[in-house]
Structure 1
Amino acid sequence: MNYTTDSKTWLAVKVGDVIPNKAWVSTGPKGRVQLSRGVESVSFQPNTLASITTSGFFQKTTEVRQQTGTLDLEIEKRSRPHTTVQTPYLAAVVKGTAFRVSVTKTTASVSVTRGLVQVSSFASGQRSSLGPGQRAAVDGVKGMTVAGAVSKPSISAVEPSVASVRAVGATALNGQPQSTAAGKNSTTSGSTNSNRADSAGHSKSGSSDDGAGNGNGNGNGNGNGNGNGNGNGNGNGNGNGNGNGNGNGNGNGNGNGNGNGNGNGNGNGNGNGNGNGNGNGNGNGNGND
Protein backbone atom coordinates (compact mmCIF):
# COMPACT_ATOMS: atom_id res chain seq x y z
CA MET A 1 0.00 0.00 0.00
CA ASN A 2 1.36 3.40 -1.00
CA TYR A 3 0.28 7.02 -1.28
CA THR A 4 1.33 10.04 -3.34
CA THR A 5 0.78 13.78 -3.06
CA ASP A 6 2.34 14.74 -6.41
CA SER A 7 1.36 11.79 -8.66
CA LYS A 8 5.07 10.97 -9.02
CA THR A 9 6.62 10.07 -5.66
CA TRP A 10 5.03 7.15 -3.81
CA LEU A 11 5.48 6.47 -0.08
CA ALA A 12 4.61 3.29 1.81
CA VAL A 13 1.57 3.37 4.10
CA LYS A 14 2.33 2.10 7.63
CA VAL A 15 0.11 1.57 10.66
CA GLY A 16 -0.45 4.88 12.46
CA ASP A 17 0.61 7.04 9.52
CA VAL A 18 -1.03 10.39 8.89
CA ILE A 19 -2.13 10.47 5.26
CA PRO A 20 -2.04 14.01 3.79
CA ASN A 21 -5.26 15.62 2.65
CA LYS A 22 -5.82 15.10 -1.12
CA ALA A 23 -3.28 12.24 -1.30
CA TRP A 24 -3.98 9.30 -3.61
CA VAL A 25 -3.80 5.88 -1.94
CA SER A 26 -3.11 2.72 -3.91
CA THR A 27 -3.48 -0.87 -2.70
CA GLY A 28 -1.95 -3.87 -4.45
CA PRO A 29 -3.47 -7.30 -5.22
CA LYS A 30 -3.37 -8.27 -1.52
CA GLY A 31 -3.40 -4.81 0.05
CA ARG A 32 -6.06 -3.47 2.40
CA VAL A 33 -6.06 -0.26 4.44
CA GLN A 34 -8.68 1.54 6.54
CA LEU A 35 -8.53 5.30 6.93
CA SER A 36 -10.28 6.55 10.06
CA ARG A 37 -11.46 9.97 11.24
CA GLY A 38 -13.55 10.01 14.39
CA VAL A 39 -16.53 7.73 13.81
CA GLU A 40 -16.02 7.78 10.04
CA SER A 41 -13.91 5.34 8.05
CA VAL A 42 -13.05 4.45 4.46
CA SER A 43 -11.77 0.92 3.83
CA PHE A 44 -9.69 0.30 0.71
CA GLN A 45 -10.00 -3.21 -0.71
CA PRO A 46 -7.27 -4.81 -2.93
CA ASN A 47 -6.40 -3.12 -6.25
CA THR A 48 -8.02 0.20 -5.32
CA LEU A 49 -6.89 3.72 -6.23
CA ALA A 50 -8.67 6.66 -4.59
CA SER A 51 -8.08 10.01 -2.87
CA ILE A 52 -9.87 11.78 -0.01
CA THR A 53 -10.17 15.57 0.18
CA THR A 54 -11.74 17.42 3.10
CA SER A 55 -12.42 21.17 2.84
CA GLY A 56 -14.33 23.90 4.67
CA PHE A 57 -14.14 25.12 8.26
CA PHE A 58 -17.52 25.37 9.99
CA GLN A 59 -19.25 23.13 7.45
CA LYS A 60 -16.68 20.52 6.41
CA THR A 61 -17.29 18.54 3.25
CA THR A 62 -15.44 15.48 2.00
CA GLU A 63 -14.91 14.35 -1.59
CA VAL A 64 -13.67 10.85 -2.37
CA ARG A 65 -12.28 10.42 -5.89
CA GLN A 66 -12.16 6.76 -6.88
CA GLN A 67 -10.65 5.57 -10.14
CA THR A 68 -10.77 1.82 -9.63
CA GLY A 69 -11.32 -0.90 -7.03
CA THR A 70 -13.71 -1.11 -4.07
CA LEU A 71 -14.30 1.21 -1.09
CA ASP A 72 -16.44 0.51 1.99
CA LEU A 73 -17.54 3.77 3.62
CA GLU A 74 -18.97 4.50 7.08
CA ILE A 75 -20.09 8.15 7.07
CA GLU A 76 -21.40 10.09 10.07
CA LYS A 77 -25.05 11.14 9.74
CA ARG A 78 -25.64 14.89 9.48
CA SER A 79 -28.57 17.13 8.56
CA ARG A 80 -27.28 17.86 5.07
CA PRO A 81 -25.21 15.99 2.45
CA HIS A 82 -21.50 16.34 3.26
CA THR A 83 -19.71 13.46 1.53
CA THR A 84 -19.48 12.72 -2.19
CA VAL A 85 -17.85 9.82 -4.01
CA GLN A 86 -16.77 10.67 -7.55
CA THR A 87 -16.02 7.86 -10.05
CA PRO A 88 -15.55 7.88 -13.85
CA TYR A 89 -19.21 6.88 -14.35
CA LEU A 90 -21.28 8.01 -11.34
CA ALA A 91 -21.35 10.24 -8.29
CA ALA A 92 -22.78 9.18 -4.91
CA VAL A 93 -23.92 11.87 -2.43
CA VAL A 94 -24.69 11.05 1.21
CA LYS A 95 -25.83 12.66 4.46
CA GLY A 96 -24.61 9.72 6.51
CA THR A 97 -24.68 6.02 5.80
CA ALA A 98 -22.81 2.76 5.26
CA PHE A 99 -22.32 1.78 1.64
CA ARG A 100 -19.91 0.24 -0.89
CA VAL A 101 -18.66 1.69 -4.17
CA SER A 102 -16.97 -0.52 -6.78
CA VAL A 103 -15.32 0.67 -10.01
CA THR A 104 -13.97 -1.30 -12.99
CA LYS A 105 -12.58 -0.15 -16.33
CA THR A 106 -16.08 0.27 -17.79
CA THR A 107 -18.61 0.32 -14.92
CA ALA A 108 -19.30 1.57 -11.40
CA SER A 109 -21.81 0.43 -8.79
CA VAL A 110 -23.14 1.46 -5.38
CA SER A 111 -24.79 -0.81 -2.82
CA VAL A 112 -26.27 0.51 0.43
CA THR A 113 -26.23 -1.17 3.84
CA ARG A 114 -27.62 1.68 5.95
CA GLY A 115 -29.01 5.15 5.28
CA LEU A 116 -29.75 6.80 1.94
CA VAL A 117 -27.42 7.43 -1.02
CA GLN A 118 -28.23 9.54 -4.07
CA VAL A 119 -26.54 8.18 -7.20
CA SER A 120 -26.20 10.10 -10.48
CA SER A 121 -24.99 8.78 -13.84
CA PHE A 122 -22.85 11.30 -15.73
CA ALA A 123 -23.23 10.24 -19.37
CA SER A 124 -26.84 8.98 -19.39
CA GLY A 125 -28.31 11.73 -17.19
CA GLN A 126 -30.06 9.41 -14.68
CA ARG A 127 -30.48 9.60 -10.91
CA SER A 128 -31.72 7.25 -8.19
CA SER A 129 -31.99 7.34 -4.39
CA LEU A 130 -30.89 4.06 -2.81
CA GLY A 131 -31.93 2.73 0.59
CA PRO A 132 -30.73 -0.32 2.56
CA GLY A 133 -30.53 -3.44 0.41
CA GLN A 134 -30.69 -1.48 -2.87
CA ARG A 135 -28.08 -1.19 -5.58
CA ALA A 136 -27.38 0.89 -8.70
CA ALA A 137 -24.90 0.13 -11.47
CA VAL A 138 -23.78 2.46 -14.24
CA ASP A 139 -22.29 1.35 -17.54
CA GLY A 140 -20.52 4.03 -19.58
CA VAL A 141 -22.53 2.97 -22.64
CA LYS A 142 -25.78 1.43 -21.38
CA GLY A 143 -26.50 3.83 -18.52
CA MET A 144 -28.00 3.06 -15.08
CA THR A 145 -29.68 -0.11 -13.85
CA VAL A 146 -31.10 -0.61 -10.34
CA ALA A 147 -32.07 -3.51 -8.12
CA GLY A 148 -33.34 -4.13 -4.56
CA ALA A 149 -33.57 -7.01 -2.14
CA VAL A 150 -37.18 -6.06 -1.27
CA SER A 151 -38.12 -3.18 -3.57
CA LYS A 152 -36.54 -1.69 -6.67
CA PRO A 153 -35.58 2.01 -6.53
CA SER A 154 -36.91 4.38 -9.18
CA ILE A 155 -34.80 6.26 -11.75
CA SER A 156 -35.36 9.89 -12.74
CA ALA A 157 -33.92 11.93 -15.59
CA VAL A 158 -31.35 14.67 -14.91
CA GLU A 159 -28.98 16.75 -17.01
CA PRO A 160 -26.00 14.72 -18.28
CA SER A 161 -22.64 15.88 -16.94
CA VAL A 162 -18.91 15.18 -17.18
CA ALA A 163 -16.92 13.08 -14.71
CA SER A 164 -14.03 14.64 -12.80
CA VAL A 165 -12.25 11.29 -12.40
CA ARG A 166 -10.73 9.61 -15.43
CA ALA A 167 -11.44 6.00 -16.32
CA VAL A 168 -8.55 3.54 -16.37
CA GLY A 169 -6.50 4.14 -19.53
CA ALA A 170 -7.95 7.61 -20.17
CA THR A 171 -6.07 10.93 -20.02
CA ALA A 172 -5.29 12.04 -16.45
CA LEU A 173 -7.45 14.76 -14.88
CA ASN A 174 -6.68 17.25 -12.10
CA GLY A 175 -3.42 15.74 -10.89
CA GLN A 176 -4.74 12.18 -10.84
CA PRO A 177 -1.91 9.60 -10.91
CA GLN A 178 -1.12 8.07 -14.29
CA SER A 179 -0.98 4.55 -12.89
CA THR A 180 -1.59 2.61 -9.70
CA ALA A 181 1.95 1.26 -9.64
CA ALA A 182 3.93 2.86 -6.84
CA GLY A 183 7.39 4.18 -7.56
CA LYS A 184 10.47 4.29 -5.37
CA ASN A 185 9.90 5.64 -1.89
CA SER A 186 11.37 9.05 -1.10
CA THR A 187 10.59 11.98 1.15
CA THR A 188 8.84 15.14 0.07
CA SER A 189 8.40 18.54 1.65
CA GLY A 190 5.58 21.04 1.54
CA SER A 191 2.55 22.25 3.42
CA THR A 192 -0.49 20.02 3.72
CA ASN A 193 -3.60 19.31 5.70
CA SER A 194 -3.36 15.72 6.85
CA ASN A 195 -5.43 12.68 7.73
CA ARG A 196 -4.59 9.99 10.31
CA ALA A 197 -3.97 6.42 9.19
CA ASP A 198 -4.39 3.31 11.32
CA SER A 199 -3.60 -0.16 10.02
CA ALA A 200 -5.99 1.75 8.35
CA GLY A 201 -5.70 5.55 8.13
CA HIS A 202 -8.09 8.52 7.23
CA SER A 203 -8.03 11.72 9.27
CA LYS A 204 -6.98 13.95 12.11
CA SER A 205 -6.31 17.29 10.61
CA GLY A 206 -2.91 18.89 10.96
CA SER A 207 -0.27 20.74 9.02
CA SER A 208 3.46 20.74 8.37
CA ASP A 209 5.78 23.26 6.75
CA ASP A 210 9.30 22.61 5.56
CA GLY A 211 11.72 25.19 4.11
CA ALA A 212 15.22 24.89 2.77
CA GLY A 213 17.78 27.53 1.79
CA ASN A 214 21.21 27.40 0.23
CA GLY A 215 23.92 30.04 0.57
CA ASN A 216 27.09 30.59 -1.40
CA GLY A 217 29.78 33.14 -0.57
CA ASN A 218 32.50 34.58 -2.76
CA GLY A 219 35.32 36.85 -1.58
CA ASN A 220 37.84 38.85 -3.53
CA GLY A 221 40.82 40.75 -2.11
CA ASN A 222 43.04 43.31 -3.79
CA GLY A 223 46.18 44.93 -2.37
CA ASN A 224 48.26 47.80 -3.68
CA GLY A 225 51.54 49.14 -2.26
CA ASN A 226 53.37 52.38 -2.94
CA GLY A 227 57.06 53.13 -2.21
CA ASN A 228 58.75 56.19 -0.74
CA GLY A 229 58.49 54.94 2.77
CA ASN A 230 54.71 54.61 2.68
CA GLY A 231 52.70 51.49 1.85
CA ASN A 232 48.98 51.35 1.46
CA GLY A 233 46.96 48.11 1.06
CA ASN A 234 43.28 47.81 0.41
CA GLY A 235 41.28 44.60 0.49
CA ASN A 236 37.67 44.21 -0.37
CA GLY A 237 35.67 41.00 0.12
CA ASN A 238 32.08 40.43 -0.82
CA GLY A 239 30.03 37.33 0.03
CA ASN A 240 26.64 36.58 -1.35
CA GLY A 241 24.40 33.73 -0.22
CA ASN A 242 21.28 32.50 -1.92
CA GLY A 243 18.72 32.77 0.75
CA ASN A 244 19.78 36.41 1.13
CA GLY A 245 23.29 36.66 2.47
CA ASN A 246 25.64 39.62 1.96
CA GLY A 247 29.11 40.22 3.34
CA ASN A 248 31.43 43.15 2.89
CA GLY A 249 34.93 43.61 4.18
CA ASN A 250 37.32 46.52 3.86
CA GLY A 251 40.93 46.57 4.97
CA ASN A 252 43.49 49.35 4.92
CA GLY A 253 47.18 48.98 5.64
CA ASN A 254 49.78 51.68 6.19
CA GLY A 255 53.53 51.12 6.28
CA ASN A 256 56.02 53.47 7.91
CA GLY A 257 59.80 53.29 7.91
CA ASN A 258 61.71 51.19 5.54
CA GLY A 259 58.81 51.58 3.19
CA ASN A 260 56.81 48.56 4.34
CA GLY A 261 53.04 48.67 4.56
CA ASN A 262 50.60 45.83 5.12
CA GLY A 263 46.85 45.99 4.70
CA ASN A 264 44.39 43.22 5.50
CA GLY A 265 40.69 43.20 4.78
CA ASN A 266 38.20 40.52 5.76
CA GLY A 267 34.57 40.38 4.64
CA ASN A 268 31.95 37.96 5.92
CA GLY A 269 28.48 37.41 4.48
CA ASN A 270 25.68 35.34 5.92
CA GLY A 271 22.70 33.88 4.00
CA ASN A 272 19.33 33.10 5.49
CA GLY A 273 16.98 30.20 4.70
CA ASN A 274 19.59 27.80 6.07
CA GLY A 275 22.16 29.18 3.63
CA ASN A 276 25.52 30.67 4.61
CA GLY A 277 27.68 32.82 2.40
CA ASN A 278 31.18 33.85 3.42
CA GLY A 279 33.40 36.29 1.57
CA ASN A 280 37.00 37.04 2.57
CA GLY A 281 39.25 39.60 1.01
CA ASN A 282 42.91 40.14 1.95
CA GLY A 283 45.03 43.04 0.65
CA ASN A 284 48.73 43.52 1.31
CA GLY A 285 50.76 46.58 0.32
CA ASN A 286 54.54 46.78 0.41
CA GLY A 287 56.63 49.95 -0.11
CA ASN A 288 60.39 50.28 -0.55
CA ASP A 289 62.57 53.37 0.04
Structure 2
Amino acid sequence: MDLAHLNDRGLVLVGCGRMGGALLQGWLSRGLAPRAVHVLDPSPPAGLADRGVAVNGPLPAHPAVLVLAVKPQMMGGVLPQLASPGQGGALVLSVAAGVTLAAYERAFPGAAIVRAMPNTPAAIGQGITAIIGNARASDADMDLAEQLMGAVGRVVRLGDESQMDAVTALSGSGPAYVFHLIEAMAAAGVAEGLPAALALDLARATVAGSGALAMHQDQDPAALREAVTSPGGTTAAGLAQLMDPKTGLPPLMRRTIAAAAARGRELGA
Protein backbone atom coordinates (compact mmCIF):
# COMPACT_ATOMS: atom_id res chain seq x y z
CA MET A 1 0.00 0.00 0.00
CA ASP A 2 1.33 3.45 -0.92
CA LEU A 3 1.20 4.72 2.64
CA ALA A 4 3.13 7.92 1.92
CA HIS A 5 0.59 8.91 -0.75
CA LEU A 6 -2.37 8.10 1.50
CA ASN A 7 -0.88 9.66 4.61
CA ASP A 8 -0.05 12.83 2.71
CA ARG A 9 -3.38 13.40 0.92
CA GLY A 10 -5.76 11.56 3.23
CA LEU A 11 -8.50 8.95 2.86
CA VAL A 12 -12.22 9.65 3.31
CA LEU A 13 -14.36 6.77 4.58
CA VAL A 14 -18.11 7.28 4.21
CA GLY A 15 -19.80 4.75 6.49
CA CYS A 16 -18.04 3.00 9.34
CA GLY A 17 -20.32 0.07 10.10
CA ARG A 18 -19.22 -3.55 10.02
CA MET A 19 -17.50 -3.47 6.64
CA GLY A 20 -16.20 0.08 6.88
CA GLY A 21 -14.96 -0.62 10.39
CA ALA A 22 -13.22 -3.83 9.32
CA LEU A 23 -11.51 -1.99 6.47
CA LEU A 24 -10.42 0.83 8.74
CA GLN A 25 -8.96 -1.59 11.26
CA GLY A 26 -7.08 -3.38 8.50
CA TRP A 27 -5.64 -0.15 7.09
CA LEU A 28 -4.53 1.12 10.48
CA SER A 29 -2.90 -2.20 11.32
CA ARG A 30 -0.93 -1.95 8.06
CA GLY A 31 0.46 1.45 8.92
CA LEU A 32 -2.03 4.01 7.63
CA ALA A 33 -1.77 7.03 9.94
CA PRO A 34 -4.98 7.67 11.92
CA ARG A 35 -4.66 11.40 11.18
CA ALA A 36 -4.95 10.60 7.46
CA VAL A 37 -8.41 9.03 7.86
CA HIS A 38 -11.58 11.12 7.77
CA VAL A 39 -14.76 9.23 8.70
CA LEU A 40 -18.26 10.39 7.84
CA ASP A 41 -20.94 8.47 9.72
CA PRO A 42 -24.05 9.58 11.64
CA SER A 43 -23.31 7.01 14.37
CA PRO A 44 -19.56 6.38 14.31
CA PRO A 45 -18.00 3.70 16.50
CA ALA A 46 -16.85 4.93 19.88
CA GLY A 47 -13.18 5.66 20.33
CA LEU A 48 -12.26 6.67 16.78
CA ALA A 49 -11.45 10.25 17.74
CA ASP A 50 -9.38 9.02 20.69
CA ARG A 51 -7.25 7.06 18.22
CA GLY A 52 -6.60 10.18 16.16
CA VAL A 53 -9.14 9.54 13.38
CA ALA A 54 -11.07 12.61 12.20
CA VAL A 55 -14.81 12.04 12.61
CA ASN A 56 -17.51 14.09 10.88
CA GLY A 57 -15.19 17.06 10.49
CA PRO A 58 -13.82 19.08 7.58
CA LEU A 59 -12.55 16.91 4.74
CA PRO A 60 -9.21 17.23 2.96
CA ALA A 61 -9.38 19.31 -0.20
CA HIS A 62 -7.83 16.64 -2.42
CA PRO A 63 -7.99 13.21 -0.75
CA ALA A 64 -6.25 10.27 -2.36
CA VAL A 65 -9.25 7.95 -1.96
CA LEU A 66 -12.96 8.27 -1.26
CA VAL A 67 -14.29 4.97 0.11
CA LEU A 68 -18.07 4.45 0.05
CA ALA A 69 -19.11 1.86 2.62
CA VAL A 70 -22.80 2.62 3.12
CA LYS A 71 -25.69 0.31 2.29
CA PRO A 72 -26.84 0.47 -1.34
CA GLN A 73 -30.30 1.65 -0.27
CA MET A 74 -28.66 4.72 1.32
CA MET A 75 -26.39 5.57 -1.60
CA GLY A 76 -28.94 7.75 -3.40
CA GLY A 77 -29.08 10.10 -0.44
CA VAL A 78 -25.35 10.07 0.24
CA LEU A 79 -23.88 10.73 -3.20
CA PRO A 80 -25.37 14.20 -3.75
CA GLN A 81 -23.83 15.36 -0.46
CA LEU A 82 -20.28 14.56 -1.56
CA ALA A 83 -18.21 16.90 -3.68
CA SER A 84 -16.97 15.34 -6.90
CA PRO A 85 -13.42 14.03 -6.37
CA GLY A 86 -12.71 13.82 -10.10
CA GLN A 87 -10.95 17.18 -10.36
CA GLY A 88 -8.63 16.34 -7.47
CA GLY A 89 -7.63 12.97 -8.86
CA ALA A 90 -9.16 10.95 -6.02
CA LEU A 91 -9.96 7.29 -6.51
CA VAL A 92 -13.58 6.43 -5.68
CA LEU A 93 -13.82 2.96 -4.15
CA SER A 94 -17.27 1.52 -3.37
CA VAL A 95 -18.17 -1.63 -1.44
CA ALA A 96 -21.94 -1.26 -1.92
CA ALA A 97 -23.78 -4.10 -3.62
CA GLY A 98 -25.73 -3.40 -6.78
CA VAL A 99 -24.74 0.22 -7.42
CA THR A 100 -23.18 0.35 -10.88
CA LEU A 101 -20.11 2.12 -12.20
CA ALA A 102 -22.42 4.21 -14.39
CA ALA A 103 -24.28 5.47 -11.32
CA TYR A 104 -21.03 6.56 -9.71
CA GLU A 105 -19.86 8.16 -12.95
CA ARG A 106 -22.99 10.31 -12.95
CA ALA A 107 -22.27 11.38 -9.38
CA PHE A 108 -18.52 11.84 -9.87
CA PRO A 109 -17.82 12.91 -13.46
CA GLY A 110 -14.24 12.36 -14.51
CA ALA A 111 -13.29 10.23 -11.51
CA ALA A 112 -11.49 6.90 -11.48
CA ILE A 113 -13.97 4.49 -9.89
CA VAL A 114 -13.61 0.94 -8.60
CA ARG A 115 -16.47 -1.26 -7.44
CA ALA A 116 -15.58 -3.85 -4.83
CA MET A 117 -17.65 -6.72 -3.44
CA PRO A 118 -16.20 -8.05 -0.17
CA ASN A 119 -17.90 -10.42 2.26
CA THR A 120 -18.37 -10.54 6.02
CA PRO A 121 -15.37 -12.78 6.88
CA ALA A 122 -13.48 -9.55 6.22
CA ALA A 123 -14.23 -8.84 9.89
CA ILE A 124 -11.52 -11.36 10.82
CA GLY A 125 -9.27 -10.75 7.82
CA GLN A 126 -10.58 -13.84 5.99
CA GLY A 127 -12.75 -12.17 3.36
CA ILE A 128 -12.60 -12.37 -0.39
CA THR A 129 -13.27 -9.33 -2.56
CA ALA A 130 -13.89 -8.96 -6.29
CA ILE A 131 -13.05 -5.63 -7.93
CA ILE A 132 -13.77 -3.98 -11.29
CA GLY A 133 -12.85 -0.47 -12.42
CA ASN A 134 -14.27 2.01 -14.91
CA ALA A 135 -12.43 3.19 -18.01
CA ARG A 136 -10.68 5.96 -16.08
CA ALA A 137 -9.27 3.57 -13.47
CA SER A 138 -5.60 3.14 -14.32
CA ASP A 139 -3.40 0.18 -13.44
CA ALA A 140 -2.15 2.21 -10.49
CA ASP A 141 -5.73 2.86 -9.36
CA MET A 142 -6.57 -0.85 -9.58
CA ASP A 143 -3.42 -1.74 -7.66
CA LEU A 144 -4.31 0.76 -4.93
CA ALA A 145 -7.87 -0.60 -4.71
CA GLU A 146 -6.50 -4.13 -4.47
CA GLN A 147 -4.11 -3.12 -1.71
CA LEU A 148 -6.88 -1.36 0.24
CA MET A 149 -9.25 -4.33 -0.01
CA GLY A 150 -6.38 -6.74 0.63
CA ALA A 151 -6.31 -5.45 4.21
CA VAL A 152 -9.30 -7.72 4.93
CA GLY A 153 -8.52 -10.81 2.82
CA ARG A 154 -7.96 -12.03 -0.73
CA VAL A 155 -8.76 -9.93 -3.80
CA VAL A 156 -9.70 -11.08 -7.32
CA ARG A 157 -10.21 -8.92 -10.40
CA LEU A 158 -13.19 -9.30 -12.73
CA GLY A 159 -13.06 -9.08 -16.50
CA ASP A 160 -16.43 -7.36 -16.85
CA GLU A 161 -18.85 -5.53 -14.56
CA SER A 162 -21.64 -7.89 -15.63
CA GLN A 163 -19.99 -10.55 -13.45
CA MET A 164 -20.47 -8.50 -10.28
CA ASP A 165 -24.07 -9.60 -9.64
CA ALA A 166 -23.00 -13.25 -9.71
CA VAL A 167 -20.09 -12.47 -7.37
CA THR A 168 -22.46 -10.69 -5.01
CA ALA A 169 -24.83 -13.66 -5.05
CA LEU A 170 -22.05 -16.23 -4.55
CA SER A 171 -19.40 -14.82 -2.24
CA GLY A 172 -21.04 -11.61 -1.05
CA SER A 173 -24.21 -13.29 0.17
CA GLY A 174 -22.56 -16.68 0.55
CA PRO A 175 -21.63 -16.39 4.25
CA ALA A 176 -25.35 -16.22 5.10
CA TYR A 177 -25.90 -19.48 3.20
CA VAL A 178 -23.09 -21.13 5.15
CA PHE A 179 -24.43 -19.84 8.47
CA HIS A 180 -27.83 -21.28 7.58
CA LEU A 181 -26.15 -24.58 6.69
CA ILE A 182 -24.72 -24.64 10.21
CA GLU A 183 -28.18 -23.95 11.61
CA ALA A 184 -29.73 -26.72 9.52
CA MET A 185 -27.02 -29.28 10.36
CA ALA A 186 -27.34 -28.52 14.06
CA ALA A 187 -31.14 -28.81 13.95
CA ALA A 188 -30.84 -32.16 12.16
CA GLY A 189 -28.43 -33.36 14.84
CA VAL A 190 -30.93 -32.40 17.53
CA ALA A 191 -33.62 -34.31 15.65
CA GLU A 192 -31.39 -37.39 15.85
CA GLY A 193 -31.05 -37.08 19.62
CA LEU A 194 -28.07 -34.79 20.25
CA PRO A 195 -28.21 -31.99 22.83
CA ALA A 196 -28.60 -28.62 21.09
CA ALA A 197 -25.31 -27.14 22.33
CA LEU A 198 -23.35 -30.20 21.26
CA ALA A 199 -25.04 -30.35 17.85
CA LEU A 200 -24.22 -26.69 17.23
CA ASP A 201 -20.61 -27.16 18.31
CA LEU A 202 -20.22 -30.15 15.99
CA ALA A 203 -21.83 -28.32 13.06
CA ARG A 204 -19.73 -25.18 13.50
CA ALA A 205 -16.46 -27.08 13.80
CA THR A 206 -17.29 -29.35 10.87
CA VAL A 207 -18.08 -26.48 8.50
CA ALA A 208 -15.08 -24.40 9.63
CA GLY A 209 -12.67 -27.33 9.49
CA SER A 210 -13.91 -28.54 6.12
CA GLY A 211 -13.58 -25.06 4.64
CA ALA A 212 -10.05 -24.74 5.99
CA LEU A 213 -9.17 -28.17 4.58
CA ALA A 214 -10.58 -27.24 1.16
CA MET A 215 -8.39 -24.11 1.12
CA HIS A 216 -5.30 -25.90 2.45
CA GLN A 217 -5.46 -28.88 0.11
CA ASP A 218 -6.28 -26.79 -2.99
CA GLN A 219 -7.96 -29.81 -4.57
CA ASP A 220 -11.16 -30.16 -6.54
CA PRO A 221 -13.90 -30.31 -3.87
CA ALA A 222 -15.31 -33.36 -5.65
CA ALA A 223 -12.05 -35.21 -4.92
CA LEU A 224 -12.21 -34.21 -1.26
CA ARG A 225 -15.84 -35.37 -1.08
CA GLU A 226 -14.99 -38.71 -2.68
CA ALA A 227 -12.11 -39.23 -0.23
CA VAL A 228 -14.60 -39.06 2.67
CA THR A 229 -17.18 -41.31 1.03
CA SER A 230 -16.94 -45.08 1.41
CA PRO A 231 -19.20 -47.10 -0.92
CA GLY A 232 -22.30 -48.19 0.94
CA GLY A 233 -21.32 -46.25 4.07
CA THR A 234 -23.01 -43.57 6.15
CA THR A 235 -21.65 -40.65 4.12
CA ALA A 236 -22.86 -42.21 0.89
CA ALA A 237 -26.33 -42.62 2.38
CA GLY A 238 -26.43 -38.95 3.36
CA LEU A 239 -25.06 -37.77 0.03
CA ALA A 240 -27.73 -39.71 -1.83
CA GLN A 241 -30.20 -37.25 -0.35
CA LEU A 242 -28.02 -34.15 -0.60
CA MET A 243 -26.98 -34.77 -4.22
CA ASP A 244 -30.39 -35.72 -5.58
CA PRO A 245 -30.65 -33.92 -8.94
CA LYS A 246 -34.26 -32.86 -8.31
CA THR A 247 -34.58 -32.36 -4.55
CA GLY A 248 -30.98 -32.06 -3.35
CA LEU A 249 -28.53 -29.24 -2.79
CA PRO A 250 -27.41 -28.58 -6.42
CA PRO A 251 -30.81 -27.38 -7.74
CA LEU A 252 -31.50 -25.53 -4.48
CA MET A 253 -28.17 -23.71 -4.67
CA ARG A 254 -28.77 -22.79 -8.30
CA ARG A 255 -32.11 -21.22 -7.34
CA THR A 256 -30.50 -19.46 -4.37
CA ILE A 257 -27.66 -17.89 -6.36
CA ALA A 258 -30.02 -16.98 -9.22
CA ALA A 259 -32.45 -15.23 -6.84
CA ALA A 260 -29.68 -13.24 -5.17
CA ALA A 261 -28.14 -12.26 -8.53
CA ALA A 262 -31.53 -11.13 -9.83
CA ARG A 263 -31.99 -8.95 -6.76
CA GLY A 264 -28.57 -7.44 -7.36
CA ARG A 265 -29.58 -6.51 -10.88
CA GLU A 266 -32.78 -4.92 -9.53
CA LEU A 267 -30.77 -2.82 -7.07
CA GLY A 268 -28.48 -1.73 -9.89
CA ALA A 269 -31.42 -0.61 -11.96
Higher helix residue share: 2
Q: Would the TM-score normalized by the shorter structure come out above 0.5?
A: no
Q: Give the alignment's TM-score, normalised by structure 2.
A: 0.24
TM-score, normalised via structure 1 length: 0.23
Tell me which structure has the larger Cα radius of gyration: 1
